[in-house]
Chain A
Amino acid sequence: MTITVAGEKKEVKEGLTLPELILLENVETPEYVTVSVNEEFVASDKVADTVLQEGDNVEFLYFMGGGCHGVDR
């Protein structure tokens, strides 16, 4: 089946689960990444049970710091 991951179309096996996709995509610090499927957030306790469907649009949203300190401790 074809799904879109971070804006790119990909051919993946039928019934691919979200944890499998996270492994395939080599997602950095997967436990702290926010996932959206078809512009809906996937709650962290639902990630394990999410099976992807043909045409799904998956985005990974990463924590990103950068810039300058702003708070003390």
Chain B
Amino acid sequence: MALTDEQMERYSRHIILKEVGAKGQKKLLEAKVLIIGAGGLGAPAAMYLAAAGVGTIGIADADEVDLSNLQRQIIHGTPDIGKAKVKSAAETIAQMNPDVKVNTYRTFVSSENIRELIREYDFILDGTDNFPAKFLINDACVMEKKPFSHAGIIRFKGQLMTYVPGQGPCYRCVFKNPPPKDAVPTCKQAGVIGAMGGVIGSLQAMEAIKYIIGKGELLTGVLLTYNALTMEFHKIKLPKDTHNCAVCGEHPTITELIDYEQAECDRK
């Protein structure tokens, strides 16, 4: 597939980069990225990936747009209140870039559907806000041998890491099991600056793009943390030793997906 004149123009700022070029742009157009959660992290990530010309973007989310979402979920606008988030996101992307095919999944991910859902994608982006979903996404990606970007945000802080099969620790290597319900606050309980989703979600999009074009260093084996109040980024080198991990280790004890219980107060 050759790039059209219009595509050469649209993506000219990518194509001029020696790390991308027409070759890298074609890789982006052929790539499939699944975003789980069209919220604070997923919204900016989806928009940058769409603008970048990632050819297929899947969005999974069961929720509707709520007034309280608009402070940070910039893919949705005031007229979208009450609309399914996946529909609102797909409409925004269609306006931004007609090169992008959007697959919408108006569903919560569960042990029943997630493996099938991620199977047809090249890269998965975790934009969820709760630990049951984060562990489910991790374990499913390990089992299906899919690379994914983990991220979390709260108050003025954010963090992310990237898992690529065989290239370093998974989320469960670091965080063995989900904390009990309500033990660790969520954004809904503790608050978050909207731009935090923009910072960290954009970094997730950056990881997906680098993975697709095969350039640069990914956050594999590294947890990158960001503190907006002190304006500091810090890279935490993660232990290399993954062989004891319950899911990605040599003798995994988790071979079936687990649906952990979610904090009651997170539900609307």
Contacts and interface: CB of A to CB of B under 8 A. Distances in A.
Given A6-B234, A7-B234, A68-B39, A29 B183 contact: yes
Contact of B152 (A29, A31, A65, A70): A65
B159 A64 contact: yes
Interface stretch (A10-18, A34-42, A46-54): A34-42
A65 B129 contact: yes
Given A41-B239, A72-B62, A66 B151 contact: yes
A70 B187 CA distance: 14
A29 B128 contact: no
A6 B232 CA distance: 11
Contacts of A71: 108-110, 128, 130, 132-133, 136, 259, 262
Interface string B134-153: 10110000000000000111
B184 interface: yes
Q: Size range of the interface on B?
A: 35 or more
Contacts of B41: 66-68
A71 B134 CA distance: 9
Chain A interface, DSSP helix/strand/loop, else mixed = loop
A64 B155 CA distance: 10
Contact of A68 (B40, B159, B175, B238): B40
Contacts of A73: 261-262, 267
A40 B174 CA distance: 10
A48 to B, nearest CB: 17
B108 A70 contact: yes
A67 B127 CA distance: 5
A69 B151 contact: no
Interface string B95-128: 0000000000000111000000000000000111
17 contacts: A32-B179, A64-B154, A64-B159, A65-B129, A65-B134, A65-B153, A66-B129, A66-B151, A67-B39, A67-B40, A67-B42, A67-B129, A68-B39, A69-B39, A69-B267, A70-B109, A72-B110
Given A65-B154, A65-B187, 13 more contacts: A29-B184, A63-B175, A63-B179, A65-B185, A66-B187, A67-B127, A68-B85, A69-B37, A69-B133, A70-B109, A71-B110, A72-B108, A72-B110
- 8 closest cross-chain pairs (CB), A and B: A68-B39, A64-B152, A70-B128, A66-B153, A70-B133, A68-B37, A72-B108, A67-B41
